[in-house]
Structure 1
Amino acid sequence: MKRMVLSLFVLTGFFTHAYSQQVEEVTVRQLLQRVNQQNDSVYVVNFWATWCGPCVEELPVFSADELHQNQKHLKVLLVSLDFKSQKEKTLIPFIRQKKMEQEVLLLNERNPNDWVDLIHPSWSGAIPATVIYKNSSSVFHEGELNLHELKELIKTIHH
Structure 2
Amino acid sequence: MNRLVTLLISALFLLIGCKSNTNEDVKAVALDGSKDNTELIEEQDEVKFPIYDFESFKPLLNKEDDKTYIVNFWATWCKPCIEEMPYFEKTYAEQKQNGVELVLVSLDMPAMWKTRLEPFVEKRGLQGKVVILDDPKMNDWIPKVDENWGGGIPATLIYNKEKRAFFERGFTYEELNEELKKFL
| TM-score range relative to shorter protein | 0.7 to 0.9
What CA deviation, in whole Å up to 9, does each residue of 1:37-59 have, x standing for no partner? 22111010000000000100000
What is the CA–CA distance in structure 2 between the aligned matches of 1:119 and 1:93, rounded to whole Å? 28
Moved more, 130-139 or 104-113: 130-139
Aligned counterpart, 1:6: none
Please tell me the residue identity of whatever aligns with 2:118. Answer: I
State the structure with bigger RCO (CA 8 A, min sep 6), 1 or 2. Answer: 1
TM-score normalised by L of structure 2: 0.68
- Computed over aligned residues only, the root mean square deviation of the Cα atoms, in angstroms, reads 2.0
SS of 1:50's partner is: coil
Moved more, 52-61 or 68-77: 68-77
Q: Is the 8 A contact 1:127 1:142 kept in 2?
A: yes
Aligned counterpart, 1:78: 104
Tell me by how many angstroms 1:88 deviates. Answer: 1.0
TM-score normalised by L of structure 1: 0.78
Moved more, 95-104 or 40-49: 95-104
What is the CA–CA distance in structure 1 between the aligned matches of 2:92 and 2:124, rounded to whole Å? 19
- CA gap 1:28/1:136 in 2 versus in 1, 3 angstroms: farther
Tell me by how many angstroms 1:81 deviates. Answer: 0.5
Aligned counterpart, 1:38: 64
Please tell me the residue identity of whatever aligns with 1:104. Answer: V
- CA gap 1:140/1:119 in 2 versus in 1, 3 angstroms: same
Aligned counterpart, 1:104: 130
What is the CA–CA distance in structure 1 between the aligned matches of 2:167 and 2:128, rounded to whole Å? 19
Counting aligned pairs with the same residue, the percent is 33
Bigger proportion of residues as helix = 1
What is the CA–CA distance in structure 2 between the aligned matches of 1:116 and 1:89, rounded to whole Å? 26
Q: Which runs of 4+ in 1 moved over 6 A?
A: none
Q: Is the 8 A contact 1:68 1:74 kept in 2?
A: no
What is the CA–CA distance in structure 1 between the aligned matches of 2:168 and 2:93, rounded to whole Å? 19
What is the CA–CA distance in structure 1 between the aligned matches of 2:162 and 2:95, rounded to whole Å? 24
Aligned counterpart, 1:27: 53
What is the CA–CA distance in structure 2 between the aligned matches of 1:42 and 1:66, rounded to whole Å? 11
Please tell me the residue identity of whatever aligns with 1:119. Answer: V
Q: Is the 8 A contact 1:130 1:140 kept in 2?
A: yes
Q: Is the 8 A contact 2:92 2:102 kept in 1?
A: no
